[in-house]
Amino acid sequence: MSRWAQNPPSAGRVKFVFAIVAICLLIAGAEYFIGLPDWMSVDPKSGRYRP
């Protein structure tokens, strides 16, 4: 925090960070409300990974 107080980030950097946080929240919200596709879920029945 002291580094940010002494040398604050540019407006572009702040917008970039907020955009990344917004994208992460959108992905988490879609996962929570809609669910994951089958290809992204892990099969709990298999004991180990087999390529």
Task: Report which DSSP code applies to 47.
Answer: S
Q: Is residue 51 predicted with pLDDT exceeding 60? A: no
Give the pLDDT score at 36: 75
Residue 20, both tokens: 């990344």
Give the pLDDT score at 26: 92
Domain ranges within the chain, ordered by starting residue: 2-35
Calpha distance 26→6 (Å, rounded): 33
3-state helix, strand, coil split of the chain in percent (to 5) is 60, 0, 40
Q: Give tens-digit pLDDT for 16-42.
A: 989 999 999 998 898 888 887 777 777
Give the pLDDT score at 30: 86
